[in-house]
Structure 1
């Protein structure tokens, strides 16, 4: 694993915890200089310190990527500091589950800003600074909720299905520049953000329906993201990879 991304520069949005933080750690362990983005400065500082203590290199970028200007600040700022940009992981999200009668305009707008629009702005900014001679890799974090919905997830499922569409369209647009665009679709994994929605009973039911017989981990998802970021996936673009233990393609 070490050295696969030596000399590369990667940005991970929403890297203060969960999947984003695990991905940032793994990218750094593979030799990349990692731009650690999150809204909260203390989250950024903690993730950067963790990477550096393990011998990796990281640059903290505390800003709000929920706007075009914020995303450009993250992408262009990292490229300027590090001298190049090779990988962007569009991971940041803000999630609320609401039943149909309870869906609120402010919830929809915030979820769209962070989970949908920010992906577009991240792709746009990355295409501006990635060197066509070297190409690049963009990995968007979707969800199995975009493939197989659950109750009270109209907004979330719609956004994640949209991220899959963005991925395919961007792959078509940017292939000529050597930029690969893929997405991963994780099933629910234990993180700080999902803890309040999980119970032992729900976990047991999900495990029973999963062919591999366990819940996924943030490290499982990070491994898939990092694979798509490397040259080992050099002829892979426009794909959505479900990282879910088989739960969406089986009937158990």
Structure 2
């Protein structure tokens, strides 16, 4: 009988942006549990330290990367720290976001600029920094956390949906350019997932509506999304690049 190995990230060095809570935090936990050395990034030590401590208490390896990645210098220094602490650099998860949902007449320049800095420009500079840090003989993996809003939008999401759709373009373009170096670039598109950050946009009625429209009959979880990210970062996805994986229970491409 053929033995199929469990999804393994042993000794890979990863940096996860926005990992102080939600999808980023769970991805850090799961990658560490699968053997990775995980750089936990967020704006403040009060967000980062509990995640690092939790991973270490469970026997995993992690270190804090307290940086504002909303600038080229910020994300570059985060990648450089991860490489220095881990001795190599293998995985970047572009997860950080700053989000405001607003109707078209309400959108303001400062909102657009901040959302672009964190959600789009940081992805550009992150891809650039990661590609420079990855060894040519080993390659690596970049996973961009987009959203089903990039595929099927709702009202009040002009800027958010545009940024997430742009992230899918960055994913394909980077995959085309970096594939020759063995660097794979993919994106995940979660649907509405209960997290600390999405709490303000959720209520029981809205959740029930979303569940009713989802073929699998439930909302997604941070565990669902993190497992998909780990898969795309692993050798199990070794021939997968330039792809967009909707992790949404089927809601985007069905109509029920």
TM-score, length of structure 2 as denominator length: 0.97
Aligned to 1:201, which of 205, 210, 229? 205
Is 1:183 aligned to residue 168 of structure 2? no
Q: Among residues 67, 84, 109, which one is paired with 1:80 in the alignment?
A: 84
Cα displacement string for residues 167-218 of structure 1 (whole angstroms, at most 9, x for unaligned residues): 0000001001100000000001000000011000000000000000000000
Which of 220, 237, 248 aligns to 2:241? It is 237
SS of the residue corresponding to residue 123 of structure 2 reads: helix
Paired residues of 2:7 and 2:236 also in contact (CA < 8 A): no
Considering only aligned residues, what root-mean-square deviation do their CA atoms show, in Å?
A: 0.9
1:196 and 1:128 map into 2 onto residues whose CA distance is: 38
Q: 2:101 aligns with which of 97, 103, 106?
A: 97
The 5 Å alignment of 1:1-252 reads 4-252=8-256
**Number of aligned pairs?**
252
Task: Look up the SS of the partner of 1:155 in the other structure.
Answer: helix
Unpaired segments of 5 or more residues in structure 1?
Answer: none
Is this contact kept in 1: 2:7–2:231, CA < 8 A? no
Measure how far apart 1:62 and its partner are: 0.5
Give me the whole-angstrom Cα distance separating, in 1, the residues matched to 2:200 and 2:43. 20
Instruction: After the TM superposition, list the runs of 4 or more consecutive aligned residues in structure 1 that deviate by more than 6 angstroms.
Output: none
TM-superposed deviation, 1:132: 1.1
Distance in 1 between residues matched to 2:176 and 2:161, nearest whole Å: 23
Q: Kindly provide the CA deviation profile for residues 74-99 of structure 1, in whole angstroms up to 9, marking residues without a partner as x.
A: 00111012110000000000000010
Query: How much does 1:3 deviate?
Result: 7.5
The runs of 5 or more residues in structure 2 that have no matched partner are: none
Once residues 181 and 96 of structure 1 are traced to their aligned partners in structure 2, the CA distance between those partners, rounded to angstroms, is: 27
Query: CA shift at 1:5, angstroms?
Result: 1.0
Structure-1 separation of matches of 2:17 and 2:117: 14
Deviations for 1:86-132, whole angstroms, at most 9, x for unmatched residues?
00000000000010110000000000000000001110000001001
* Contact persistence 1:2–1:31 (CA under 8 A): no
Q: Take 1:39 and 1:61, find their aligned partners in 2: how far apart are those partners? A: 9
User: What is the Cα deviation at residue 2 of structure 1?
Assistant: 6.7
Are the aligned partners of 1:90 and 1:140 in contact in 2 as well (CA < 8 Å)?
Answer: yes
User: What SS does structure 2 have at the residue aligned with 1:61?
Assistant: strand
What is the deviation of 1:40?
Answer: 1.5
CA contact (8 A) 1:4 1:30 kept: yes
